[in-house]
Amino acid sequence: MQQVAFELLHAQHDRQHDPRRHEPLARQRDEDRATDEQHAGHRDREGLGGAEAARVGDLALDLMLRGGDVIEHSPIGDRDWLEPATACIVHPKLGLAPDALNFDVGNACLGFINGMALTAAMIERGDIDHGIVVDGESARVVVESTIARLADPACDRDLFRSSFATLTLGSGAAAMLLSRREMADDGHPFHGVVSRAATEHNELCQGQPDDMRTDAAGLLTAGLALARETWRDAVDVFDWSADAIDAAFIHQVSRAHTRSVIGALGLREDRIPLLYPEHGNIGPAGAVVTCSQEDAAGRLFPGDRAGAVGIGRGAYFAQAGITWGGCSGAPGPGRCAGSRSPLPR
């Protein structure tokens, strides 16, 4: 995609809900509840601050797309209710025009990357000039429900094993503006998304608002096979290699999961910013939050080549290609090497 650039408008994250912190549990629940009220930014501005909302308000925005998960959140997921779409709650809060298209995209942990691809395709076709993708993730309800089931004396080994992955979930919010490149004041070139599906594995991770069951080993095996196939496609589409990538923002679940993805793609550990140790699995917002953290820490440089990598139950795998800062020159190898902490042992 030669016509699209993006700006990170906002990324917000919280500490992971830690089921080990039972003392004082009442205080933790109060803190988590306050956090959820804060993350109800998806009911307000999907986590956008005042300056960012003003930035959006200055544009003739054509599209507001909410791209996220559909179960891991409030009583009925990260949506306030099943209908109408969460996008129509955010739309008036941002003061968008009546002709600004708005809708939800839900595809497990790939919702945000799918939203980026869809918005960029509409820009390329000439349908719109600007579009914003937003997401708000809050895992408290499903995590606390899972803890209650695991604490029940009737819990058996199968229930424990299939529920354990739920405890990796975290909370966060993100927003990204995509624009026609010549209209982007300070954008970063967006090169598109490469994705593959292996939907024969759709039964490996299934969820409801208060319950998620996962065949963790089976999903990891299927996901890694899909990752390798998608990576081969991405190498051709984006004309890159593992050594040429300065940063990869990977959807992260755990240490074992992250290490396995790095190994499957042949990436360097020192070019993988970590999110899961502090914030857990933020799902669709994770890759964007990680990118924002790296930007805030000053570890992204003009010309850096980066990829946003998403893995979703279903099973799906997607990679987005970006260049940081719009520099036309190719970045030198190892530009960011050594600037990140190694994976925990």
Cite the active site residues: 83, 109
Question: How far lies 130's CA from each of 58, 95, 301, 304, in Å?
Answer: 11, 15, 25, 24
Cα–Cα distance measured from residue 184 to residue 1, given in angstroms and rounded to the nearest whole number: 15
HSE of 127 in the Cβ direction (CA atoms, 13 Å)? Answer: 13
User: Could you give the angle at the alpha carbon of 15 between the alpha carbons of 255 and 267, nearest 5°?
Assistant: 30
Report which residue type is found at 293: Q
Q: Tell which residue, 117, 296, 285, 102, has the closest CA to residue 193.
A: 117
Cis upstream peptide for 19 (omega within 30°): no
Q: What is the residue whose two structure tokens read 């026609």?
A: 180
The whole-angstrom separation of Cα 44 and Cα 89 is 7
In contact, 176 and 288? CB cutoff 8 Å: yes
Tokens of 273: 């910013």
Helices 140-151 and 25-39, axial angle in degrees (round to 10) = 150
With CA atoms as reference, report the closest residue to 250 among 188, 318, 315: 318
Q: Which residue reads 């090497």 in tokens?
A: 337
Q: How far apart are CA 281 and CA 99, in angstroms?
A: 35
Residues 139, 287, 305: CA angle, nearest 5 degrees: 175
Contacts of 114 (CB under 8 A, 6+ apart): 67, 105, 107, 193, 195, 318
The whole-angstrom separation of Cα 43 and Cα 263 is: 39
**What DSSP designation does 330 have?**
P
